[in-house]
Amino acid sequence: MKHKSRVRKASFLIPFLLALFLPLYAYVGPGAGFAFLSSFLILFLTFFLAVFSILTWPFRLLFKAIKGQKAYKKSLIQKLIIIGLDGMEPTLVEKFMSEGKLQNLSKIKNTGTYARLQTTTPAISPVAWSSFMTGSNPSKHNIFDFLSRDTKTYLPDLSSARIGKPKKYLSFGKYNIPLSKPEIKGLRKSIPFWKILGKQGIFSTILRVPITFPPEKFSGHLLSGMCAPDLKGSQGTFFFYTSDKDKIKKREGGINIPVDITNGKIKTYISGPENNLLKKEKELRLPLTMTIHEDKNSVELEVSGQKFNLKKNSFSDWIKLTFRPGLGMKIRAICRFYISQIHPHFEMYLTPLNIDPEKPALPISHPFIYSVYLSKLRGSFITLGEANDTWALNEGALSEEAFLELTYSNHKEWEDMMFNAINKTRKGLVTCVFETTDSIQHMFWRYLDNAHPALRSGQTKMSPQVIEELYSKMDTLVGKVLEKLDDHSALIIMSDHGFKSFRRGVNLNSWLYLEGYLSLKDGKKKSEEWFKDVDWNKTKVYALGLGGIYINQKSRETHGIVNPDQETKALKKELLEKLDGLKDEDKDSVAINKVFDRDELPPGPYIDNCPDLVVGYNEGYRVSWDSVTGKVNETVFEDNTKAWSGDHCIDPRIVPGIFFSTQKINTANPSIIDIAPTVLELFGLDVPSHMDGQALINTQEDSSLKKNKQRKKENEPRKSKRLH
């Protein structure tokens, strides 16, 4: 060792000593040039930017003053942090707090506020978070579910965004060269509160809030969350590679790729996006070669010009992939590999192909360079909206342990981003939504429910401890944020809805079929996915999405048969009477608490896009998996045996969210639509009239807050605007 060290020292010393004897010009070679030229440029640029920032600083302040921005003039606080813990359940929070397990949240409850937070109808994340950011009911922001329906085809569409193809092309050989950008259109309406803040010069960083894809322009930074697609344009398509022919089956949300092992090698591919550059579109594929080292329990993977080893039962880092559709174009993606089995059969999970934040194929942040900045600062990170791969666990492509590892790894990335934003925000707003809580509860709730049918099938290695640990980790996160607060800062912790067990599924389409509202084609007793065998010319009602019932209305649906006015009203009344309190005879239990008529919901310009009826299921029930995808048969109630065992798409009154605040509030019944007005109030801005919610700040109880100018009339007027 000593000898090696001496040799190493000498190898550095000799050239150095030699260099001392040489004329200066001898050093100035290209090797030195590489390093010193780059360094010099960086130094020059840094110096230039420093001078530029300092010199332009007063002018920027002046410009703001001229623009009439009144940032922080009447503001009660300098900095506000909002942490969204998607789906955090109040009964669990209250239980754990009473057991002394959530000390940081308890601290906020004791010194500030804790309350249950009314959610939206329906209680679904995209709906609730859209109401959170706009302060409006769904009829004003146009998001009523994950899915909306195409009235021409009766097929589902993504409710939040539409990604179209470029409108103009240049035909060149086998290529169609796009001459315009593809249409990427956000379908959420109304104005998020951070846009209003930005207009008054209050800077915001918005991280991973659902329904922020495509990102809108405003004065601040935004990284899109739920509903940002993967590179295949889906909401997350995972891949499962296996040499076990028995395991080749349809996997919801994923693609099976069978592989053969020849002499310890597997030659396969990664299935990429469609090549839109070709006239005859074709899937882009990347060759993937794997060499199995059984002795080392590892596999060497070779893909996209990279070679790396991966041990069994561990995730790879983010691997960059480059797809080449032709004409020198490149489409970048990032993904992670996980080998779950080598012997007797090879099994590997591959995450959905995430848009590479360093070179995004679609805009996922505002400004565009924000995701580039984050990627360069901390390395690649997950960009897919539905980040945690619940389908992979549901469909057996990932084990429970692997799912948790992946989910917490994603969570760590978001935490890092949030603290980076908090550290850089002296004044302004930082909002970050963590979907960790939602995903883990969806997939592990059955461990809290001894009667859950899923405990009798599938993976059951875990215990209720999983959920308790989740809550404890979130409490630790809150503790770390509390340390960042000063006297001029405020913190809000909230969830968009709560959680309940999902034991039984209700196939509404089957119920409609059995009750004679939905008809199948002649001779059919069931229909495959997406209403394949439904006879629309005889169908009066159908169900789509997580809680919506639609009347097949004339002049609205292509094959509509129900007249819009009186006939529709009468039909809805009939359905309400039958469905309210619908009983699951096998379990002697009520499956549906209440069905909400959209005409009774708060009005707004987009109410026509709302389902005609929204179903509020009882605890333990939810729309069945088959009903969501438009399958029809003769079974109405069925056990839910999937790992996805907890849910919230039920009666909104029984799944409120949580609300913690370092400030006192003026009501015991806050609602998610009140958050946006509260934020504006905290920053001293007027609440626009289009917002349905009301500010929660009670300035009389908290001397640090300014006098409340308006809304002292308490709950009467707001109740009329509320849903419940």
Partner 1 sequence: MWVFNSIFGKIFEIVFFPFKSMTPWIGMIFISFLTALLMLCVFRFTSHQQGIKQVKNKIKAHLLEIRLFKDSLNVSLRAQGNILRYNLKYIGYSIKPLMVMIIPLILILIQLNLWFGHQSLTPGQEVILKVEVDEDLSLLDTEFLIESSSGLVIETPPLRIEETREVNWKLFAKETGIHELSMTVNGHRIVKKVAVAQKSLNKISPVKVRRNFIDELFHPGEAPLPANHPIKSLEIKYPSNYMSLFGWRIHWLIVYFALSIIFGFALKGVFKVEI
User: Binding residues for partner 1, per CB under 8 A?
Assistant: 11-12, 15-16, 18-19, 21-22, 25-39, 42-43, 45-46, 49-50, 53-54, 57, 60, 203, 221, 305, 367, 369-370, 372-374, 376-377, 379, 424, 426
Which CB atom, from 27 or from 172, has the smaller least distance to partner 1?
27
Minimum CB–partner distance for residue 311 and partner 1 (Å): 19
Minimum CB–partner distance for residue 1 and partner 1 (Å): 20
Which CB atom, from 309 or from 457, has the smaller least distance to partner 1?
309
Enter the tokens of residue 350. 């591959």
Minimum CB–partner distance for residue 65 and partner 1 (Å): 13
Q: SS3 for 254?
A: strand
Which CB atom, from 100 or from 328, has the smaller least distance to partner 1?
328
Q: Select from 483, 375, 372 the least CA-distant residue to 81.
A: 483
Minimum CB–partner distance for residue 629 and partner 1 (Å): 42
Q: Select from 494, 486, 526, 501 the least CA-distant residue to 634.
A: 526
Tell me the C-alpha to C-alpha distance, in Å, between residue 153 and each of 116, 232, 448. 40, 22, 41
Helix (H) or strand (E) holding 306: strand 306-311
Minimum CB–partner distance for residue 12 and partner 1 (Å): 5
Which CB atom, from 34 or from 172, has the smaller least distance to partner 1?
34
- 639: exposed, middle or buried (Cβ count in 10 Å: 0-12, 13-18, 19+): middle
Minimum CB–partner distance for residue 56 and partner 1 (Å): 8
Q: What distance in Å separates the CA atoms of residue 371 and residue 359, rounded to the nearest whole number?
A: 9
Q: SS3 for 277?
A: coil
Q: What is the DSSP string of 623-644?
A: E-HHHHTT-B-S--EEE--SS-
Minimum CB–partner distance for residue 199 and partner 1 (Å): 14
Which CB atom, from 69 or from 698, has the smaller least distance to partner 1?
69
Q: What distance in Å separates the CA atoms of residue 135 and residue 671, rounded to the nearest whole number?
A: 10
- 694: exposed, middle or buried (Cβ count in 10 Å: 0-12, 13-18, 19+): buried
Which CB atom, from 3 or from 25, has the smaller least distance to partner 1?
25
Which CB atom, from 365 or from 407, has the smaller least distance to partner 1?
365
Minimum CB–partner distance for residue 15 and partner 1 (Å): 4
Enter the tokens of residue 119. 């959610």
Cis ω before 357 (30° cut-off from 0): no
Which CB atom, from 429 or from 643, has the smaller least distance to partner 1?
429
Minimum CB–partner distance for residue 363 and partner 1 (Å): 15
Which CB atom, from 30 or from 523, has the smaller least distance to partner 1?
30
Amino acid, single-letter form, for residue 522: D
- Paired with 116 in beta bridges are 658
Which CB atom, from 414 or from 502, has the smaller least distance to partner 1?
414
Q: What is the β-pairing status of strands 220-223 and 204-207?
A: parallel
Q: Select from 414, 466, 412 the least CA-distant residue to 441.
A: 466
Q: Select from 299, 281, 279, 280 the least CA-distant residue to 289.
A: 299
Which CB atom, from 49 or from 451, has the smaller least distance to partner 1?
49
Minimum CB–partner distance for residue 287 and partner 1 (Å): 18
Which CB atom, from 31 or from 523, has the smaller least distance to partner 1?
31
Burial 511-541 (b: 16+ CB within 10 A, else e): bbbeeebbbbeeeeeebeeebebbebebbbb
Which CB atom, from 45 or from 65, has the smaller least distance to partner 1?
45
Q: What distance in Å separates the CA atoms of residue 405 and residue 407, rounded to the nearest whole number?
A: 6
Minimum CB–partner distance for residue 376 and partner 1 (Å): 4
Minimum CB–partner distance for residue 218 and partner 1 (Å): 14
Question: Distance between alpha carbon 22 and the CA centroid of its chain, in Å?
Answer: 62
Which CB atom, from 46 or from 153, has the smaller least distance to partner 1?
46
Minimum CB–partner distance for residue 17 and partner 1 (Å): 11
Minimum CB–partner distance for residue 408 and partner 1 (Å): 23
Tell me the C-alpha to C-alpha distance, in Å, between residue 84 and each of 47, 437, 492, 675. 39, 10, 8, 11
Q: What distance in Å separates the CA atoms of residue 420 and residue 415, rounded to the nearest whole number?
A: 8
Enter the tokens of residue 515. 């009750």
| C-alpha torsion angle, residues 451, 455, 461, 463 (rounded to 10) | -20
| C-alpha torsion angle, residues 624, 630, 633, 635 (rounded to 10) | 10
Spell out the alpha helix ranges (H) of 271-399. 368-378, 390-394
The H helix count followed by the E strand count for the chain is 17, 36
Which CB atom, from 185 or from 426, has the smaller least distance to partner 1?
426
Compute the chain's Rg from CA coordinates. Answer: 28
Residues 239, 257 contacting (CB under 8 angstroms): yes
Q: Select from 449, 428, 595, 461 the least CA-distant residue to 78.
A: 428
Minimum CB–partner distance for residue 719 and partner 1 (Å): 41
